Amino acid sequence: MIQANILDLIQKHGITFPDDVIEKITTLNEKLWKQSQLVTAALIRALIQDFYGHKKSQSISLENLGWRNKHRIRLLSDGKLSQRTMYKEWGVIDLLVLSDFLEKRKATSTWGNQEFHYRLNLDFLPEAPTLLESLRLFIEGSSE
């Protein structure tokens, strides 16, 4: 399932934005709401790419899965997110970080003058004995 259908994954697992995020974003404007959905889909793609990349090498470091800078998030959105939107102060990414829907960490490199990396908060993953199994269940589904 390398070419995962992102919308199917979101619907299957019922990933939804926190109510306060929906309220803030939808009251601002519809464009911002669509952008937040594009950011979410891009970061799910990042998680899937990293999972399959690490799965092949048999070494999975969960703390490094799914992190991308704003430029990479924009690329993963197939160019549907504009540069202006991505780099605007208090844009969609900042709103999602404030709501704890996205995690933010200091960038490990200074490539492209990016200060931070972002990923989805992994709390939305299905319950399982380990985080790795949760991630596998999310991406590949149950084997039953």
Q: Where are the alpha helices (DSSP H) in the chain?
A: 6-13, 19-28, 30-57, 70-76, 83-87, 92-98, 131-140
pTM of the model: 0.75
Q: Where are the chain's structural domains?
A: 6-140
Per-residue pLDDT of the chain (144 residues; tens, 9 = 90+): 333 444 455 555 555 666 666 666 556 567 777 788 788 888 888 888 888 887 777 666 778 889 999 889 988 888 788 777 777 766 788 888 887 788 999 998 877 778 899 998 887 777 777 777 777 777 777 765
Half-sphere exposure of 45 (CA within 13 A, CB side): 18
